Copies of this chain bind each other. A is one copy, B any other.
Amino acid sequence: MNAMSNASPIAMTGALAPRESWVARQCSVERALQVIHTRSAFLILREAYYGATRFDEFSRRARLSEPVTATRLRELVAAGLMVREPYQEPGQRTRDRYRLTDMGAELLPVLVALMQWGDRWLQEDGAPVALRHSGCGEPVTAQLRCDAGHQVEPGELDLVRAAPAAGVLSP
């Protein structure tokens, strides 16, 4: 809510903080970015969340050219985020449609967090659309929580090495 105080000392200063040699080679952020690192991939996923299933829906709604749409859909299917399945509307010929897998659906928090950030910092006139919980109608936000239920602020994060397996992560 405070939009003015700049340069706040945000940093994760946990157990691994001065991790000089630990160069985040296996970092999940980096791996995730290898799978989706293009604008078009995000936009196609957005349209999938919005309910698009057919090729021309993705192309038109995301405002992408057909070649890019085709390429991206093929990649998303190959990566396991979407599946391609034949279907047929009555009186129409058989076509394929594209649907999100669980893997793809679980990227939703990323998109929501991105939308939320854009709403807050890039829209002068407030959010153009809003998300509501279909059960109760309340606004939905992406947030950081710990398992104890506390809401976590950016400064309250510690980074710890997770699996204490055999020494794989030495310098």
Contact = CB atoms under 8 A, between A and B. Distances in A.
Contacts of A119: 28
A162 B32 contact: no
Contacts of A83: 6-7
A86 B18 CA distance: 22
Contact-residue bracket for chain A: 35 or more
**Chain A interface mostly:** mixed
Given A29-B115, A85-B7, A121-B103, A159 B131 contact: yes
B129 A140 contact: no
B51 A109 contact: no
Given A29-B114, A49-B11, A120-B106, A148 B162 contact: no
A157 B133 contact: yes
Interface of A: 2-14, 16-19, 23-24, 26-33, 35, 37, 39, 42-43, 46, 48-51, 60-63, 80, 83, 85, 99-123, 125-148, 150, 152, 154-163, 165, 169
